[in-house]
Amino acid sequence: MNQLTVKNLVKKYRHTTVLDDISFTLEPAKIYGLLGRNGAGKTTLLNIISNRLFPTSGDVQIAGEDVNNNDALLSKIFLMSEVNLYPREMKINQTFDLADAAYGDFDYDLANRLLKTFELDGDAKVTNLSTGQRTASKIIVALAVNAEYVLLDEPILGLDANHREAFYQELVKTYQEKPRTFVLSTHLIEEIQQLVEHVLILDQHKIIVDDGLDSMLAKAYTISGPTKLVDDYVAGLKVLKTELMGNIKTTYIFDDLDDQRPIPDQVKINHYDLQHLFIYLTDGGEK
Ligand SMILES: Nc1ncnc2c1ncn2[C@@H]1O[C@H](COP(=O)(O)OP(=O)(O)OP(=O)(O)O)[C@@H](O)[C@H]1O
């Protein structure tokens, strides 16, 4: 398997720049979280990677070759999106056949098992499904399709908590059995924190974070205690947010701490989670 490289992508609609010189690499067999606020450009980016949309400039490459109009390379990339691309009369089972025809080697055993997991009838017409059921039917295709890069745009839209849990479990299971790359674009950050290995954050039309989850979270500290002591301790560190309660100050840091510096007794250091890190990095903090 080869890397997928996004190189200097720019997407403009008239005078609005939606993606501004985006570059990153997707490694084979890794689970990525693509995060960004509403309108950040996530869907646009995934549509360009899967050749559903053309960039204004820049390109997407696999093994150094442009995927644009290259059928062999495009057959390595699958996009599950909100848009319903199936004809009105199509049954769930027929969407499996379509994926098999386009990508080959569709995993019918997995798909049939997942129909039971998600309590769906394979003979049901896609247009007659509820929002959550339609999402589930698309998830089945995305997990059973034979593609090296599976891009999931809002894959949990309308799914109830039980089915979301089932999706996460099945994703991990199929990933362990047959490692390939998944990109999960979602707003349910708390729920995917356990799944993703690498995080891409799109903000203000640019990638502002491209990092392993563990290395990101290792830099996410809260430092709290008496204001003066906290101020002294965080001097020179990247502070994303500050909260004050009486004389007790809590700062949210995104930085490496200096191991050599003594920590005053009254100062407490803890970690915080991906969801809060995302919020503070993308406007909820003190830019
Ligand atoms: N065809 C279009 N013409 C003009 N502007 C567009 C078009 N498609 C998308 N945009 C704009 O591009 C920006 C990015 O949209 P996009 O759908 O990629 O965001 P997103 O990150 O997926 O958002 P969300 O989380 O809300 O789904 C938005 O400001 C949107 O209004």
Q: Where are the domains of the chain?
A: 4-212, 219-284
ipTM of predicted complex = 0.97
Can you say whether the dihedral through the CA atoms of 201, 206, 210, 215 is positive or negative?
Answer: negative
- Please classify residue 145 by burial: count the beta carbons closer than 10 Å to its beta carbon, then call 0-12 exposed, 13-18 middle and 19+ buried: buried
The domain 4-212 belongs to what CATH superfamily? P-loop containing nucleotide triphosphate hydrolases (3.40.50.300)
Q: What is the mean pLDDT of residues 26-45?
A: 95
- The conformational region for residue 249 under phi > 0 = left, psi -120 to 50 = alpha, else beta, is beta
Confidence band of 38 (pLDDT split at 50, 70, 90): very high
- Nearest atom in ligand 1 to the alpha carbon of residue 46 is 18
Averaged pLDDT for residues 7-27:
95
Distance 109 CA to ligand 1 centre (A): 36
Cα of 37 from ligand 1 centre, angstroms: 11
Q: What is the reported pLDDT for 157?
A: 86
CA of 241 to the centre of ligand 1 (A): 28
Other Cβ atoms closer than 10 A to 187: 17
* pLDDT of 285 higher than 60: no
- In angstroms, the CA 43 to CA 79 distance is 10
Mutate to test the pocket of ligand 1, among 12, 35, 38, 43 (most ligand atoms within 8 A of CB): 43
Residues 6+ apart with CB under 8 A from 116: none
Coil/strand/helix, residue 15: coil
Q: Which residue has the higher pLDDT, 85 or 124?
A: 124
CA 94 – ligand 1 centroid, Å:
30
Residue nearest to atom 1 of ligand 1 (CA): 13
pLDDT band at 264 (very low <50, low <70, confident <90, very high): confident
255, with CB counted inside 10 A (0-12, 13-18, 19+), is middle
The pLDDT value given to residue 34: 97
CA 237 to ligand 1 centroid distance, Å: 34
The Cα–Cα gap between 253 and 236 comes to 11
Using the atom order of ligand 1, give the atom closest to the CA of residue 37.
25
| Amino acid type, 118 | F
Q: What is the pLDDT of residues 140-173, one digit of tens each?
A: 999 999 999 999 999 998 999 999 999 999 999 9
- Model confidence pTM above 0.90: yes
Ligand 1 pocket mutation pick from 12, 19, 42, 52 by most atoms within 8 angstroms of CB: 42
If one counts every other C-beta atom within 10 angstroms of the C-beta of residue 157, the result is 16
Ligand 1 atom index nearest CA of 41: 18
Buried b (16+ CB within 10 A) or exposed e, 31-61: bbbbbbbeebbbbbbbbbbbbeeebeebebb
How many CB atoms lie under 10 A from the CB of residue 276? 18
**pLDDT at 21 > cutoff 60:** yes
Nearest Cα residue to 36 out of 205, 272, 262? 205
> CA 75, CA 103: separation in Å to the nearest integer?
6
